[in-house]
Structure 1
Amino acid sequence: MSLAHDERLRLVDTMSAVGPDAPTLCGEWTVRDLAAHLVVRERRPDASVGILLPPLAGYTQSVQDGVATRPFEELLADVRSGPPIWSPFRLLDPVANLGEMFVHHEDVLRGDGVAEPRELDPRLEKALWGIGGLMGRKAYRSAPVTVVWESPDFGTRSFGSASRRVVLRGPASELALHAFGRDVVALAFEGDEADVAALKALDRSF
């Protein structure tokens, strides 16, 4: 099994444990809403395009709202089983879904606004260092400072070329979460107070 598959199973177990009405880090979405999002993403290609294309977002939301009315255990069963054989995500699951499953798992675990990092498989940390680097190029593209990552396991990585810089220090998994737009992270921020505030206020959505 792949790292993405293992994280998928852990995500579903956590969703089941906290229940459908628990909060997440995805705005006003509950766990039920997040499960419906994952089902639409992998099983409704006609609607999932709205996740990336704003003009179609209304249709996607309408479909997702309908999917969310299904019994919670059915939603979890669909998420657990992964993309169906006809889904474009089927073959790409190990690559395309690792970041998705990890980030949304943390969205559920940190839904109360508290960052309590898990002890992760070193292979997962390494994979997230790579994924986070790709996401960071987009997340920090408008940053007014150079963003420097410092990981105790993987060294340093920089985004941008501004003369002023802010250093983010912590595990690869926490750095990746920040690149994915999450603020409830266990990271140390080092730099001028105004620069740190500007980075924290940056819109890191894609």
Structure 2
Amino acid sequence: MIRHARAERASLCDTFLQVGPDAPTLCGDWTTAQLLAHLIVREGRPDKAAGILTPKLAGRTEKAMAGLLRDNDFESLVERLRRGPARWHPASVPFVDEQANLVEMFVHHEDVLRAGLGAPRRSLDPAMISALGDRLAVMAKVLFRRAPDADIELVTAKRRTRVSSGKGPVVEIHGRPGEILLFGFGRQAVAEVELIGPPDAVEAVRTTAYGL
């Protein structure tokens, strides 16, 4: 089994070390150090990570992130992320790691790469593209659940996925799986996709706040 999530984790960690702790990201006003702390809390402190999805508990998560950055140097935190989940964590099982972490690592890696390096887009190998496509097919209905009154169809080289009710005009989102995932996680400004459909519906789909 190819460990795409593990490979993407290692690549992200390399990028963290390349750009340092103060580089910008696409995660609001977070620096790379804050994004790194987010990833570690998410994976290593489930008791503190609830604020990631529950706004009322956000202060608890932010406090845990701040504590990590206060008590550890950036390089040691990068190596902590590189080591991956602890043995007690479900994602220590390779299959679970692929399901839980491939997209997380990919999206946040692109958050760093597209925020400040000015480098050409990565050329992903076909196996990685296929793995991202599989995750997109599973996650599509959740990612695009806030879609406006349009019938969204995701179109990649390998599949078409209809994700909405069928009651509105059809808007097709064409692109590589990773780019559609970025779009679906709210990175519309940097996602390299093409939207096809009635202009008003396309604009509504382009400007809706998506994500988990």
TM-score (norm 1): 0.91
Task: Tell whether 2:211 aligns with 1:205.
Answer: yes
Q: For 1:57, give the aligned amino acid.
A: A
Task: Tell whether 2:11 aligns with 1:6.
Answer: no
- Taking structure 1 as reference, are residues 114 and 157 closer, same or farther at Cα in structure 2, changes over 3 Å only? farther
In the TM superposition, residue 115 of structure 1 has moved relative to its aligned partner by 9.0
1:77-156 paired onto structure 2 within 5 Å: 77-91=79-93, 92-112=96-116, 116-143=120-147, 144-152=149-157, 154-156=158-160
Cα contact 1:41–1:48 (8 A) shared by 2:
yes
Task: Tell whether 2:198 aligns with 1:192.
Answer: yes
The equivalent residue for 1:50 is 51
Cα deviation code 1:56-112 (max 9, x no counterpart): 221011111221232110110111111122233322323211111111111111113
Cα contact 1:168–1:189 (8 A) shared by 2:
yes
- Taking structure 1 as reference, are residues 132 and 26 closer, same or farther at Cα in structure 2, changes over 3 Å only? same
Secondary structure of the structure 1 residue equivalent to 2:24: coil
Q: Aligned partners of 2:111 and 2:126: how far apart in 1?
A: 21
- Taking structure 1 as reference, are residues 172 and 205 closer, same or farther at Cα in structure 2, changes over 3 Å only? closer
- Taking structure 1 as reference, are residues 75 and 33 closer, same or farther at Cα in structure 2, changes over 3 Å only? same
The equivalent residue for 1:75 is 77
Q: Aligned partners of 1:142 and 1:87: how far apart in 2?
A: 31
Cα contact 1:167–1:191 (8 A) shared by 2:
yes
Q: For 2:76, give the aligned amino acid.
A: E
Query: Which runs of 5 or more residues in structure 1 are unaligned?
Result: none
Query: Which runs of 5 or more residues in structure 2 are unaligned?
Result: none
Cα contact 1:110–1:116 (8 A) shared by 2:
no
Aligned residues: 205
Secondary structure of the structure 2 residue equivalent to 1:110: helix
The equivalent residue for 1:179 is 184
Cα contact 1:115–1:186 (8 A) shared by 2:
no
Q: For 1:173, give the aligned amino acid.
A: G
Cα contact 1:25–1:113 (8 A) shared by 2:
no
The equivalent residue for 1:170 is 175
- Taking structure 1 as reference, are residues 115 and 103 closer, same or farther at Cα in structure 2, changes over 3 Å only? farther
Q: For 1:23, give the aligned amino acid.
A: P
Q: For 1:2, give the aligned amino acid.
A: R
Cα contact 2:155–2:173 (8 A) shared by 1:
yes
Q: Aligned partners of 1:105 and 1:147: how far apart in 2?
A: 26
Cα contact 1:133–1:176 (8 A) shared by 2:
no
Q: Aligned partners of 1:128 and 1:31: how far apart in 2?
A: 23
Structural RMSD (CA): 1.9
Cα contact 2:174–2:193 (8 A) shared by 1:
yes
Task: Tell whether 2:33 aligns with 1:32.
Answer: yes
Percent identity of paired positions between Structure 1 and Structure 2? 40
Q: Aligned partners of 2:206 and 2:118: how far apart in 1?
A: 17
